[in-house]
Amino acid sequence: MSLLELDGVKVHFPVKRGVLFDRVVGHVHAVDGVSLKVEAGQTYGLVGESGCGKTTLGRAVLRLVDITEGEVVLDGTDLAKLPDEEMRRFRRRLQMVFQDPLGSLNPRQNIESILTEGMLAHGIGASQEERREKIKAILAKVGLPANALSRYPHEFSGGQRQRIGIARALVLEPDVIICDEPVSALDVSIQAQVINLLEELQEELGLTYLVIAHDLAVVRHISDVIGVMYLGALVEEAPSDALYAEPKHPYTKALMSAVPVPDPEVEDRRERILLTGDLPSPANPPTGCRFHTRCPWVQETLCATERPQLTDVGGGHRVACHYAAEIAAGTLTRTMGDVVPAAREEIADAEVPAQPEAPEAEKAAEEPTSAEDADKAAKAEETETAETAETGETAETAERGETAETAETAETAETAEKAEKAEETEKAEKPA
């Protein structure tokens, strides 16, 4: 049996109308029947474009949202059916690392306090001294100096804050860590460091990861198995190498064709598959195959009427497409969408404007390695600090009154809420 198994998981959010929002007029099918297995000591990468339901699936595993249907089985126990009290104990074994490390760390608490909170909630460590020693050991593992204990989140760079987020999960000795977009808020040069750290920790501690990301390049190297999600469902799943060598679902083919070839010496001969139209609303998903409204190979028969199931095509490769075999054999005619030469040629021909030098403050904020560097970074981030304190206050205000659960903050709904709030603010700031 796998360490974590999801079987037919559905999360449908009610859409409410009326003066008191008491009339349910429909449902958002955020997750619509996902089954997958995460093996102990391995990494399952879940990819898909924004809004396809990745985050909701991660939250469903932790029971931070209600599961409408299906099973989430951790080490033989179905979490979906556990009473709340028992679920609270199970949460230690399932930890989450969030996209926005700043939004998920309370700016009023120093690092020792942040890391101690969850340990106290789960009765880890006989004394504060014992907990401190454990925290110091974990800080060393994630590459942070011991003097980080008495510092506050704003004193660290983005990459270091993510290391704190990882340390917070690790002190609870979890079986599975769900990493939700763990590096997408970080500078590209820092992303690889954090991904490498996750890999090293996995090797050393035998951790199991479910990594959620919209970026295929992020999950590629870290994942043993990759699942591709579209509109609440998995459309393809395969061992990482097999998926990259030969994507079989039209949606995966389109996603892959947009990933740039990393080596500039290698000529990119691939064709780019351009999808037409936007992601349909999960409140009103298309009939039949969810992807048929945008599929370049859509056929008149079956596609709009029958929903394809994930089918094993050999080598642990599963595909949900009625015509996967014909597409692979090249015998199916494309019916819509554009296929254009690789992006590289277009880029090579285009005039690239000179990039302005990064401001000194930004440079200084990049991943300091010593305490001295951390000081410099802290100064560089002074402006950011003012903003942080504000966000923190908002999050804290929302926290009050939940004393019993406060200690669980580190890994549960509260943290998720903070992260969500920060994300919402971010989304509101960024035009669509």
Residues at the contact surface with ligand ATP, assessed by CB under 6 A: 13, 28, 30, 48, 50-56, 214, 282
Looking at the DSSP assignment, which residues form a beta bridge with residue 45? 211, 226
Q: Can you say how many angstroms the Cα of residue 146 is from the centroid of all Cα atoms in its chain?
A: 29
**Which of residues 52 and 198 has its CB atom nearest to ligand ATP in the complex?**
52
**Which of residues 214 and 376 has its CB atom nearest to ligand ATP in the complex?**
214
Q: Are strands 271-274 and 233-239 parallel, antiparallel or unpaired?
A: unpaired
**Which of residues 363 and 427 has its CB atom nearest to ligand ATP in the complex?**
427
**Which of residues 28 and 142 has its CB atom nearest to ligand ATP in the complex?**
28
Report in angstroms how near the CB of residue 29 gets to ligand ATP at its nearest.
Answer: 8
- Residue 269, amino acid: R
**CB count in 10 Å sphere of residue 101:** 27
What are the helix (H) ranges across 158-239?
158-170, 188-205, 216-222
Report in angstroms how near the CB of residue 283 gets to ligand ATP at its nearest.
Answer: 8
**Which of residues 104 and 157 has its CB atom nearest to ligand ATP in the complex?**
104
Report in angstroms how near the CB of residue 23 gets to ligand ATP at its nearest.
Answer: 15
Report in angstroms how near the CB of residue 14 gets to ligand ATP at its nearest.
Answer: 8
**Which of residues 51 and 143 has its CB atom nearest to ligand ATP in the complex?**
51
Position of tokens 């929002």? 21
Report in angstroms how near the CB of residue 284 gets to ligand ATP at its nearest.
Answer: 11
d(C-alpha 57, C-alpha 236), whole Å: 16
**CA torsion, ordered 253, 258, 259, 260, to nearest 10 deg:** 130
- Report residue 293 as tokens: 């409204």
**CB count in 10 Å sphere of residue 64:** 20
Report in angstroms how near the CB of residue 184 gets to ligand ATP at its nearest.
Answer: 9
**Which of residues 351 and 429 has its CB atom nearest to ligand ATP in the complex?**
429
Exposure string of 108-146, with b = 16+ CB inside 10 Å and e = fewer, is ebbbbebbbbbbebbebbeeeeebbebbbebbebbbbbe
Report in angstroms how near the CB of residue 11 gets to ligand ATP at its nearest.
Answer: 8
**Which of residues 58 and 118 has its CB atom nearest to ligand ATP in the complex?**
58
**Which of residues 139 and 195 has its CB atom nearest to ligand ATP in the complex?**
195
Position of tokens 């008491």? 22
Position of tokens 């690889």? 192
Q: Can you say how many angstroms the Cα of residue 28 is from the centroid of all Cα atoms in its chain?
A: 20
Report in angstroms how near the CB of residue 420 gets to ligand ATP at its nearest.
Answer: 9
Report in angstroms how near the CB of residue 112 gets to ligand ATP at its nearest.
Answer: 31
Backbone angles phi and psi of 208, in degrees to 5: -115, 130
Sign for the pseudo-dihedral over CA of 375, 377, 379, 383:
negative
